[in-house]
Structure 1
């Protein structure tokens, strides 16, 4: 492969990287993250092409130069690339700031509730506004599984969480024993679960389906099998699923072994 072919290959790969339309994101969080990635690519790819072109040109021009002369100072060039670098860094910082401060990426502390479901201390959890019709799920990680508590519905599930599509969902995360991490890569969700405190993930999932939740922090011998299913359904089917749970003074527990029945109840149209 000659230099022209190599250069053409770099340019073509960069063009395809920018031009290919990404698959539609399944959640607001994923959409925001992919938007930032695209903005950074629009800066990074032209810079990479420019650097490679200059490199190939320098190699080609000076390949037979056995007596190179020292580089001369060019103040105008130095001022130009300093200003260009500053502009690029300002763009990257501004784009990143806009995404990182979005309420779905970094939920703002709007309201604190100290007792959810009776007597649990939720210090540090970010709560929705009082008029927000959001779903709240208290998520407890342990070696090696997940408990999902729906305090307003008096329902608890093991390794299965069901939420409605196009609705704000607040996952309040904590751990019963050691450090874990809640990670749903298809939805762009990731947060540490820490014993003794709560972290909050706020999301709004637009595509119904079943997504896998992993623990992304090594937590012991059973780490590789610590996962759960996050199922997203329509609002009607979500209400039907809740109605199918046995409401008593003791929260209902839907175990992983009963996941087939849960999925079937979700998939069935509401009565």
Structure 2
């Protein structure tokens, strides 16, 4: 029994450390902040459930390890009602927490609704075998190839599409991901908080040169972005 108690104490210690650990440092984008925050909330459910299941498993193994004549389990209506209600409560918690992320104005694009947080930068990201064409339709249709440059602390709206087959648009560190589909435009939105260069790539196998479909998202200050935009427009 001592080993069983030690195992339970260890599991509880891990749970407490995970629950009360200091939050992660500032996130690079609104999308990353919301998604990582959602993951943290879900841990409040996942860890206790994991600890409970493992505790029951260990208890069962220890108690019945030498049982050579097991008997069938009897129906326990109270237990069944209890775990059904508990499951419903967990699903409700997950649904409400997820909706809070999906409905956030910093990551959900609503056509025709003016953005209250500032004038957004609009980028068209068109995938093809095997590359990308990024353009800024509201800035004189500036085209930049595989480079996206956006200002810090300003909403960014990215319209993703494909010329040929199914592709995928993914920037892991900014928590941006959507499919690039032929004849359909998928829109993602975020606000970048940290300056720097972030790697993006195609996430759907699209042919022999799929592995070469890289692009970059460079987050700069508002002044640097305006200088870059002026340079692009004057070069056309």
Asked if 1:230 is matched to 2:225, the reply is no
Note if contact 1:212-1:230 (Cα within 8 Å) is conserved in structure 2: yes
Equivalent residue number for residue 17 of structure 1: 18
Equivalent residue number for residue 145 of structure 1: 131
Query: Which of 190, 196, 203 is residue 183 of structure 2 equivalent to?
Result: 196
The number of equivalent residue pairs is 232
CA distance in 1 between partners of 2:232 and 2:111 (Å): 32
Note if contact 1:104-1:201 (Cα within 8 Å) is conserved in structure 2: no
TM-score (normalizing by structure 1) = 0.77
TM-score (normalizing by structure 2) = 0.88
Matched residue of 2:135: which SS?
strand
CA gap of 1:192–1:104, structure 2 versus 1, over 3 A, is farther
CA gap of 1:131–1:231, structure 2 versus 1, over 3 A, is closer
Note if contact 1:175-1:193 (Cα within 8 Å) is conserved in structure 2: yes
Equivalent residue number for residue 40 of structure 2: 38
Asked if 1:99 is matched to 2:101, the reply is yes
Q: Tell me by how many angstroms 1:95 deviates.
A: 1.4
Equivalent residue number for residue 124 of structure 1: none
Equivalent residue number for residue 155 of structure 2: 168
CA gap of 1:99–1:131, structure 2 versus 1, over 3 A, is closer
CA distance in 1 between partners of 2:116 and 2:7 (Å): 59
Equivalent residue number for residue 63 of structure 2: 61
Q: Tell me by how many angstroms 1:58 deviates.
A: 1.5
Note if contact 1:27-1:203 (Cα within 8 Å) is conserved in structure 2: yes
Note if contact 2:117-2:154 (Cα within 8 Å) is conserved in structure 1: no
CA distance in 1 between partners of 2:182 and 2:161 (Å): 6
Q: Tell me by how many angstroms 1:129 deviates.
A: 5.1
Asked if 1:135 is matched to 2:121, the reply is yes
Q: Tell me by how many angstroms 1:91 deviates.
A: 1.2
